[in-house]
A and B are shown apart, each in its own frame.
Chain A
Amino acid sequence: MRGAPVRLAMLLAVLALAGAAVAGCSDDGSEVRSGDASASAAPASAAPASASGPSSEDVAPTGGGESITVYSGQHPETVAALAQDFRDATGIGVNLRSGAEGELANQIIQEGSNSPADVFYAANSPSLQALSGRELLAPVDPGTLAQVPRKYSGPAGDWVGVSARSSVLVYNPDQVSRDQLPSSLLDLARPEWDGRIGFSATETDFQPLVSTVIAEDGRDSAKQWLEGLKANGTTYDGNVPIINDVNDGELDAGLIEHYYWYRLRDEVGADNLRARLYYFPPGDPGALVAISGAGALKSSEHAEAAQAFLRYLVSRRGQEIIADSKSYEYPLRPGAANPSLQRSFGQLKPPAVNIEELGDGRNAFELLQEVGLL
């Protein structure tokens, strides 16, 4: 019994120390973290970095010691590789906060003018447009915007398009024959797809599809289509389980973005990959190409460094890292290509809808709520 208070006192002391240690190590801990993550991706980034040596004048060094905070909804491994290479090129460090883009955009909205973020790097345009609409983003340098076709950047010029991903139908060829494949996204609401289709209304990737249908066919038709899709389909939380179920034969087909297929191939091996990709016909809402981009925060105290990071993302050097990464996306800079993908960027034939029409996805969100998918 006598030992007990001593032990307890020791326990409390340990706890206090632990608290102090957490407080102490976090600052340099973050450095360690981003360093580690980029170390893992270094093999992927090493080659393009050295290959593109001559192009480094796009990203001239601006002096060392400074660092910026990037909130990123993009694939963490790729962004870590970009951050590491950016630091090598410019001497500017990057504190990376990775997460779901919607959560991070919301967090920036909550933080308002106090936001610690300097750059927001999103996987889809609506979360950038949400910040743009609240006037939280600063104008991007015209020279940076000029690196990619203008239609892929924010209409207000306050974020720049970096890469693109295509909507696709993933299907299991054992259950869906070639002639059964839909000629349009809208066909998936038809009775022949009853019980065969999966989609994730809760993914930020899905909202732009709904917005596209609204823009092309009007709200009423979009609502009818969603109701049909809801009746036919299984709703998933996320695209990952969709492609897994299709691959395992649990589900006939599902709506995802193309890169999930490549990532699953890397995970399970090409021999175990049953799932196949089907690209919707040219101009169909299902052939939507979503834009991933980045913007600098108005509240940033490192405005120049933030602009340098944006400039870097669309530089040849940055775009080559993206093309070679496990993101499997299309770099938007003319001349940069991703040869590992089945279709080239030029072969994609998206519908006419533009970024402004996709907006911040509010119309899609409300329609999804109305139909009961959210």
Chain B
Amino acid sequence: MVAAGLALLPLAFIIQQVGQVGWSDARRLLWRPRVGELLTNTLQLTITVTVLCVLVGLAAAWCVECTDVPFRRVLAVLLALPIAVPEYVNGFGWVSIVPGMHGFWAAVFVMTLSHYPLVYLPAAAMLRVGDPALEEASRLLGRGPWSTFMHVTLPRLRLALLGGGLVIALHLLAEYGGFAIMRYRTFTTEIYNTYKLGFDPASASLLSLVLVVLCVLVLGGEQWLRGRGGVLRGGATARRRRRVRLGRRRWPVMAGLAALVGLAIAVPIGALVYWLVVGGSTTLPQASLAAATTTTVLYGLAAAGLACALALPVAFLAVRRGGAVATVLERTVYLPRALPGLVVGLALVYFTVRYAFSLYQTPLLLIVAYTVLFLPLALIAVQPAVAQLRPALEDAARSLGSRPVAVLRRVVLPLLAPGLLAAGALVFLTSVTELTATLLLRPTGTETLATQFWNYTDGLAYGAAAPYAAVMVAISAIPTYLLVRRLDAIA
């Protein structure tokens, strides 16, 4: 309930603000060609990138988990790494070496490279834990490999693919930095500009309302696609899967995966190194880099902790209770994910300035903002773990005399630990790179790596900006590694 309440704050703010806009102004603002253009831009990009990410992520997961492609263990790790590179750093890297990288296809390209791991990771995990018996049975019953993949493997991956796709779609609706760098206009970039130039948060809120509608459509669509299919649990003794022999295609497939890794990681990191070496303004004080790093890490950890703590009850409610109320509650939590950080930030400014001024511009408020923004990510990771948890185990523990707290501590949490760790890692990764809400809510004088990076790219100091981006990537690599190791632990 707390989670949903927090999630609804931004919506309440938007509606309150929109209420201040008169009808004629609202018509003038919404009924203009620019809005249609933005709608097309946003939808086109969201759909294209989400579909591409699902395809690329699925293909990569299948190649690494189900075939005998060479170096698959190394590739399995490398393929997940792009999530350690924030999309605006990726965009910055590409734009700074290919100056013409602008517009729709450039945005599609960079966003796909940045986000496909969100499908790759859960898909690979499912393939790894999945019992191959079902596939083998299908083959024995006469289905070809392709038909088996389509009718047996794919349906089992459905939840993983949909979950990943959902996060990506919502994220794209709210993305600001990457699109700003690649000069692609979406609702979110426009909300930001309107806010920045117009001295009129109400009209920015009006545009946000459109985004809320899009978000509800995405959430509803995912729910519909998810359907009523239950979770397929394999037999008790999962066996190693027999790998598909690629034969002569082994090396080309490997080269393809390596190229993907190269485009997604080597290029942005190469660009950073280039600017570190070349940029004239690299002579920056070490201390501010260290201070920004510490601040960023601490905020990330705190947000990860709070998000995990809130995600757990929501996940239990959604998985165990089911029913309309639980579903609505769970879906509500996703809403802020599609709202620009700016809007969530503004909402928190609005409410704290009026009703809780002692919280305003405190670290706690910023942590709450990150939690509201990134709770969906935690939920995505925790929910499957909760779904795998068999209520029978808890019942058994309780019937053997354990108290509820002991059951939670000794049975539930250990079983959920990997899921919680993944959730924490995802929230940490994302809050480390958050920009627009941070700008509004940070305590005065606090700079994070993201705000510093943006300060300097804005002021033309690429050389000065690069170290902040490099540290961001470096500290993001640790949780990414945790995520990948979790994959390894499964095997």
Q: List the interface of chain A (C-beta within 8 A of B).
A: 1, 4-5, 7-8, 11-12, 14-16, 18-19, 21-23, 25-27, 29-34, 36-37, 39-40, 69, 75-77, 95-100, 102-103, 105-107, 109-112, 114, 116, 127, 130, 202, 204, 207, 235-238, 240-241, 243-245, 248, 250, 260, 263-264, 266-269, 360-362, 365, 368-370, 372, 374
Interfacial residues, chain B to chain A (CB-CB below 8 A): 29, 32-34, 37, 95, 99-100, 180-181, 183, 189-190, 193-199, 201, 279-281, 284-285, 287-288, 291, 294-295, 297-299, 301-302, 304-306, 346, 349-350, 353, 357, 360-364, 367, 409-410, 413-414, 417, 420-421, 424, 439-440, 443-447, 455, 457-463
* Cβ-defined partner of A15 (8 Å) among B195, B305, B444: B305
A109 to B202, CA, bound (A): 12
Q: Which residues of B are found within 8 Å of A374, using beta-carbon distances? A: 34, 190, 193-194, 197
Q: Do B280 and A96 touch (CB < 8 A)? A: no
B350 in contact with A110 (CB, 8 Å): yes
Chain B contacts of A105 at CB under 8 A? Answer: 199
Report how far A223 CA is from B41 CA in the complex, Å: 25
| Cβ contact of A36, chosen from B288, B294, B420, cutoff 8 A | B288
**Which among A8, A32, A106 is the interface contact of B414 at CB below 8 angstroms?**
A8
Also in contact, A40 and B199, with CB within 8 A (given A15-B302, A33-B445): no
Measured between alpha carbons, how far is A236 from B413 in the docked complex, in Å? Answer: 50
Chain B residues lying within 8 Å of A69, measured Cβ to Cβ, are 444
Contact B34 A130 (CB under 8 A): no
* B199 touching A33, Cβ below 8 Å: no
A238 CA to B346 CA, complexed, in Å: 22
Q: Report chain B residues within 8 Å CB of A27.
A: 443
Q: Which residues of B contact A365 (CB under 8 A)?
A: 197-198
Which residue in B288, B295, B353 is a CB contact (below 8 Å) of A37? B288
B362 shortest CB reach to chain A, Å: 7
Contact present for B197 and A266 (CB under 8 Å): no
Q: Which of B33, B287, B291 contacts A372 (CB 8 A)?
A: B33
Contacting residue for A31 out of B181, B194, B197, B445, CB 8 A: B445
The dominant DSSP class at the B interface is helix
Known contacts A18-B298, A29-B291, A241-B183; decide if A98 and B459 are in contact (CB<8 Å): no
Known: A23-B363, A27-B443. 20 other contacts (CB 8 A): A15-B305, A19-B305, A26-B363, A32-B287, A37-B285, A40-B288, A98-B455, A103-B196, A103-B439, A110-B201, A111-B349, A114-B360, A207-B197, A237-B183, A237-B189, A238-B180, A267-B279, A267-B281, A267-B462, A368-B197
With beta carbons under 8 angstroms apart, the residue of B302, B353, B362, B455 that contacts A112 is B353
Given A96-B445, A97-B445, A111-B349: A33 touches B196 (CB 8 Å cut-off): no
Cβ–Cβ < 8 Å partners of B463 in chain A: 267
Whether B413 contacts A8 by the Cβ 8 Å rule is yes
Contacts of B201 in A (CB 8 A): 106, 109-110
Contacts of B34 in A (CB 8 A): 369, 372, 374
Q: How far is the CB of A350 from chain B (nearest CB, A)?
A: 22
Cα A260 to Cα B461 in complex, Å, equals: 11
Find chain B residues with CB under 8 A from A202 CB: 193, 196-197
Across the two chains, which residue of chain A brings its CB closest to B35?
A: A372
Contact A7 B362 (CB under 8 A): no
Across the interface, name the chain B residue whose C-beta is closest to A75: B459
Q: Which residues does chain A contribute within 8 Å of B95, judged by CB atoms?
A: 241
Contacts of B443 in A (CB 8 A): 26-27, 29-30
Return the chain B residue nearest A129 by Cβ: B199
